[in-house]
């Protein structure tokens, strides 16, 4: 049996290997989505492809990249050599969508395959019908760009130029895609070198024993935790809309003894639109909240996968059949799976005296994808996402408000770019970007606020740019509340048609500081490709987190603080929290008492 | 025994019952869907203040204690959707 000190050292070295590999990836990649948004992932896998050390970044990928490793092992059996690097991005094999390209690399020690490193970035472009890879126009996966079930990009240390050139010949901005792929090659190189150094120091036998122990330890720890939680069944329902078609993801999570089952029976049939996801993507989507919510102090590896089962009906939104389009999956069905799992896990934790403090309402549930594309002010073709989507909003906890603009559950390191970074890359100017009032779900503890922003064209050689909107609707709130808390607000995407204004009105519109101050007609835009040209503006607001507990239990002074900090409006405070204020922002105590009594009475007589 | 922040489980005459954790009022037997026994306020989400710019079909269901009125749970629904039936074994 391995001694505990050596085991602990190896465990921590594995964490550091992943950390250094992530840093390498970020240093080489030139994409804002990678460097700013942290839409990336690096993890380590055992020789058989099972997860050894889940890294940070988008956690949806931890299990999917394991499947990518296993698929490569099957496909290239007997031909996997030291120095190889494989590329895979087929969603029906393992990936989430074609833009999220996996590079997986075997790690050999003394001629024997001992482990794998795997990483992904959302590449700059993948040659799909829409720039950036999210394809609201796709009717099947055949419009969603380059896709492979596995290619040996590097053979024994030598780059295969034919493959490299073929990929880059099929994408827009090949120089940026090349940088993305190079970043993953560098990342895997660093991971491999550090792993070999680690194994060399402690010996392959000790290393293998440590890995085996680590996985067994994680499994034991999760099973012990599950046993401490109550047995039961919890349900969630997520709606997402595309072009007025409402799709539903239905989840029933059953916990018995030391096992958890996630059953998506009842979910809508697969959609003609690209919001579907494959079963590997669904599995990733439900594990993304499992890791941080149930395994916050457990190493993320194969051990925590073993007690979990998933039922995803074939031909449904969460397990679609080829060639259904899936390019919007990461903000579509996968996100809904993630939200539903977050909701049911939150309810289960909230049913436990011991673990209630770990419960949370749903975080930033309406992750959105808006990709700009066009000639920028430097006369170069530019493609990129509004990284604001990664800024998120925290769900309320059972003891505290959700964190305003507090990120998202599936990516512990997500963040957004500075305004100036985006303005330097695209010919746009921000009119404003700030917290969104009333976006956090009401409750004893309030959901964290989301944000709002508006942009206009600026210094654009072509008079503006275009953008791909994969908003999958803004009709239904998605950040569910917990234990009586309200859901967070839905998203909103508006095309503000300043071009139709008079010159005087356009002058005023140049510096509009709120959506209400914008005089022009507004059109909802949530699915398709749209122009941003001339004087027009694009306005976006995104959801807050879900609230927790009864809003009438929120202390008056905390509501007043919310008003002062811009989190809550006077109207919202009155209607939802029952707090009445005067024109100076001070509480009207008698009126507040009456208002709260009235709201309570309304409930009892409903 | 805790069922959630808003509901507890107590035993009455040998039967497990769900009760309001605020006022201890019995809501329903623990092995039955309790939401049918709570007070239901169902309304279009857009009737709430703020940025709930939702259509008529988006409903917020609020389940309250029949005695003290404290909120026991909420859920989003479309008309006719089943209640989300959570239960402990």
Res A95 pLDDT > 80: yes
**pLDDT for residue A580:** 98
Cα Rg, chain B, nearest whole Å: 14
In which band, very low, low, confident or very high, does the pLDDT at A584 lie, cut at 50, 70 and 90?
Answer: confident
Residue B73 lies in a domain: yes
Test mutation, B47, B49, B70, chain A, max A CBs within 10 A? B49
Report angle CA A87, A94, A319 to the nearest 5 degrees.
Answer: 155
pLDDT band at A178 (very low <50, low <70, confident <90, very high): very high
Is residue B50 over pLDDT 80?
no
Question: In the predicted model, what is the mean pLDDT of residues A463-491?
Answer: 93
User: Best interface-test mutation with A: which of B8, B86, B88, B89 has the largest number of A CBs within 10 A?
Assistant: B86
pLDDT confidence of residue B47: 86
What is the band of A36 on the pLDDT scale with cuts at 50, 70, 90? confident
A87 to chain B, any CB pair closer than 8 A? The answer is: no
Domain boundaries, chain A: 4-220, 226-541, 555-604
Tokens read off for B26: 């019995």
Q: Is the pLDDT of residue B48 over 90?
A: no
Spatial CA neighbour of A130 closest among A141, A120, A138: A138
What is each CA distance from A252 to A237, A260, A341, A480, B82, in whole angstroms? 9, 11, 9, 15, 13
B40 touches chain A (CB under 8 A): yes
On the 0-12 / 13-18 / 19+ scale of CB atoms within 10 A, B13 is: exposed
> Backbone phi, then psi, for A247, in 5-degree steps?
-110, 150
Least confident interval from A29-43, A150-164, A334-348, A476-490: A29-43
Closest in A233, A437, A550 to B71, CB measured: A550
Provide the pLDDT for residue A313: 98
Q: Give the pTM.
A: 0.97
Give me the pLDDT at residue A238, please: 97
**Structural domain boundaries enclosing B39:** 7-77
B45 close contact with A: CB closer than 8 A: yes
Question: Would B82 be classed as within a structural domain?
Answer: no
For B58, which of A475, A551, A574 is closest by C-beta distance?
A475
Peptide bond into A70 cis (omega under 30): no
pLDDT, average across residues A271-296: 97
Using one digit for the tens of pLDDT, what is the confidence trace for A332-381? 999 999 999 999 999 999 999 999 999 999 999 999 999 999 999 999 99
Give contacts of A483 with chain B, Cβ < 8 Å.
Answer: 4-6, 73
Give the closest-approach CA distance of B27 to chain A in angstroms: 13
pLDDT more than 90, % of chain A = 95
How large is the angle between the packed helices A4-28 and A204-228, nearest 10 degrees?
Answer: 90
Mean pLDDT of A273-292: 97
Split at pLDDT 50, 70, 90, the class of A51 is very high
What is the C-alpha separation between A412 and A264, in angstroms, rounded? 25
Average pLDDT rounded to a whole number, residues A225-247 = 95
At A605 the pLDDT is 79
Q: What does chain B come to in residues? A: 89
Higher-scoring residue by pLDDT: A6, B54: A6
Strand, helix or coil at A460? coil
pLDDT over 80 at A135, yes or no: yes
ipTM of the complex in this document: 0.97
> Are B5 and A549 in contact (CB < 8 Å)?
yes
Cβ distance A490 to B52 less than 8 Å, yes or no, reads: yes
Which residues have a Cβ under 8 Å from the Cβ of B65 and sit 6 or more positions away? B6, B20, B22, B23, B25, B27, B38, B39, B72
Is B86 within a domain?
Answer: no
Q: Do A603 and B64 touch (CB under 8 A)?
A: yes
Please give the average per-residue pLDDT across A282-292, as a whole number. Answer: 97
Is position B64 within any domain?
yes
The model's confidence at residue A585, banded by pLDDT at 50, 70 and 90, is confident
Characterize the bridge pairing of strands B15-20 and B7-12: antiparallel
CB-based contact, B23 to chain A, within 8 Å = no
Q: Residue B41: in which H helix or E strand, if any? A: strand B39-44
pLDDT bracket for residue A54 (50, 70, 90): very high
Q: Which helix (H) or strand (E) holds A309?
A: strand A308-311
Closest CA to A331 of A469, A505, A531, A522: A469
Q: Tell me how long chain A is.
A: 606
pLDDT of residue A513: 96
Instruction: Give the mean pLDDT of chain A.
Output: 96
Confidence tier at A471 by pLDDT (50, 70, 90): confident
Q: Is residue B83 assigned to a domain? A: no
Residue A56 has pLDDT above 90, yes or no: no
Our CA-based measurement puts residue B5 at a distance from the nearest CA of chain A, in whole angstroms, of 6
The domain tally of chain B equals: 1
Does some domain include residue B46? Answer: yes
Residue bearing tokens 């029952």: A578
Strands A308-311 and A259-263 turn out to be parallel
Q: Which residues of chain A neighbour B71 with C-beta distances below 8 Å?
A: 484, 549-552, 603
Long-range contacts of B78-81 (CB under 8 A, 24+ apart): B78/A239, B78/A246, B81/A237
Any CB–CB contact under 8 A between A578 and chain B?
no
Q: Other C-beta atoms within 10 Å of A531: how many?
A: 17
Nearest partner of A365 among A496, A238, A277, A178, judged by Cα: A238
Query: What is the average per-residue pLDDT within B30-44?
Result: 95
Structural Rg of chain A based on CA atoms: 25
A60 vs A290, A299, A553, CA distance in Å?
Answer: 10, 16, 36
With beta carbons under 8 A apart, name residues in chain B contacting A600. 68-69
Residue of B nearest to A481 (CA): B74
CB neighbours of residue B9 within 10 Å: 15
Provide DSSP, A510-551: TT--SSTT--S-EEE--EEEEEEETT-EEEEE---PPPBS-G
Q: Which of A3-12, A104-113, B43-52 has the lowest mean pLDDT?
A: B43-52
- Do the chains contact at A356 and B74, CB–CB below 8 Å? no
């Amino acid at each position: 049996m391995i001694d505990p000190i050596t085991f602990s050292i190896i465990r921590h070295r594995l964490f550091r290997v992943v950390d250094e590999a992530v840093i390498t990836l970020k240093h080489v990649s030139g994409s804002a989505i990678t460097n700013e948004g942290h839409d990336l992932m690096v993890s380590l896998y055992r020789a058989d492809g099972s997860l050894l050390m889940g890294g940070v970044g988008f956690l949806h990928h931890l299990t999917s990249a394991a499947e990518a490793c296993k698929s490569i092992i099957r496909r290239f059996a007997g031909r996997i050599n030291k120095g190889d690097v494989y590329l895979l991005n087929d969603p029906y094999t393992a990936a989430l969508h074609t833009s999220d390209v996996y590079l997986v690399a075997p790690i050999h020690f003394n001629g024997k395959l001992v482990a794998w490193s795997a990483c992904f970035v959302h590449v700059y472009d993948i040659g799909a019908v829409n720039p950036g890879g999210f394809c609201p126009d796709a009717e099947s996966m055949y419009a969603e760009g380059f896709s492979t079930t596995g290619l040996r990009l590097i053979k024994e240390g030598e780059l295969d130029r034919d493959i490299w050139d073929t990929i880059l010949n099929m994408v827009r901005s090949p120089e940026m895609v090349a940088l993305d792929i190079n970043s993953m090659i560098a990342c895997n190189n660093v991971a491999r070198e550090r792993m070999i150094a680690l194994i060399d120091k402690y010996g392959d036998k000790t290393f293998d024993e440590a890995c085996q122990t680590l996985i067994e330890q994680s499994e034991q720890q999760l099973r012990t935790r599950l046993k401490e939680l109550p047995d039961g069944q919890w349900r969630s329902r997520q709606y997402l809309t595309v072009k007025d078609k409402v799709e539903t993801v239905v989840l029933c999570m059953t916990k018995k003894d030391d096992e958890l089952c996630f059953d998506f029976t009842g979910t809508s049939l697969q959609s003609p639109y690209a919001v579907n996801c494959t079963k590997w993507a669904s599995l990733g989507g439900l594990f993304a909240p499992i890791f941080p919510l149930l395994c916050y102090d457990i190493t993320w590896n194969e051990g925590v996968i073993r007690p979990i089962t998933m039922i995803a009906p074939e031909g449904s939104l969460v397990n679609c059949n080829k060639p259904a389009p899936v390019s919007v999956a990461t903000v579509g069905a996968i996100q809904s799976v993630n939200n539903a799992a977050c909701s049911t896990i939150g309810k289960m934790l909230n049913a436990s005296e011991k673990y209630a403090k770990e419960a949370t309402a749903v975080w930033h549930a309406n992750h959105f994808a808006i990709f700009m594309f066009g000639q920028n002010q430097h006369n170069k073709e530019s493609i990129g996402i509004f990284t604001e989507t990664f800024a998120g909003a925290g769900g309320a906890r059972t003891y505290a408000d959700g964190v305003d603009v507090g990120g998202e559950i599936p990516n512990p390191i997500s963040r957004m770019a500075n305004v100036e970074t985006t303005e330097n890359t695209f010919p746009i100017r921000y009119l404003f970007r700030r917290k969104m009032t009333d976006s956090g779900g009401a409750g004893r503890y309030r959901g964290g606020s989301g944000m709002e922003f508006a942009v206009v064209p600026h210094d654009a050689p072509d008079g503006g740019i275009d953008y791909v909107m994969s908003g999958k609707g803004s009709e239904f709130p998605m950040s569910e509340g917990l234990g009586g808390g309200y859901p967070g607000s839905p998203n909103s995407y508006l095309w503000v048609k300043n071009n139709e204004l008079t010159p005087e009105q356009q002058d005023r519109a140049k510096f509009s500081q709120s959506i209400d101050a914008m005089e022009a007609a507004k059109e909802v835009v949530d699915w398709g490709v749209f122009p941003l040209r001339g004087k027009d503006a694009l306005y976006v607001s995104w959801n807050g987190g879900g609230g927790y507990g009864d809003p009438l239990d929120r202390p008056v002074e905390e509501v007043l603080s919310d008003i002062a900090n811009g989190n809550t409006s006077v109207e919202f405070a009155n209607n939802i929290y029952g707090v009445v204020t005067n024109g100076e922002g001070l509480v009207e105590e008698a009126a507040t008492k009456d208002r709260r009594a009235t709201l309570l009475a309304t409930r009892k007589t409903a | 025994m805790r069922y959630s922040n808003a509901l507890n489980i107590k035993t009455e005459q040998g039967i497990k019952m769900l009760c309001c954790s605020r006022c201890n009022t019995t809501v329903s037997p623990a092995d039955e869907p309790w939401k049918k026994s709570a007070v239901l306020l169902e309304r279009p989400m857009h009737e709430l203040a703020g940025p709930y710019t939702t259509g008529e079909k988006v409903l917020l269901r609020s389940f309250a204690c029949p005695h003290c009125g404290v909120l026991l749970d909420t859920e989003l629904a479309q008309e006719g959707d089943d209640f989300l039936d959570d239960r402990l074994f």
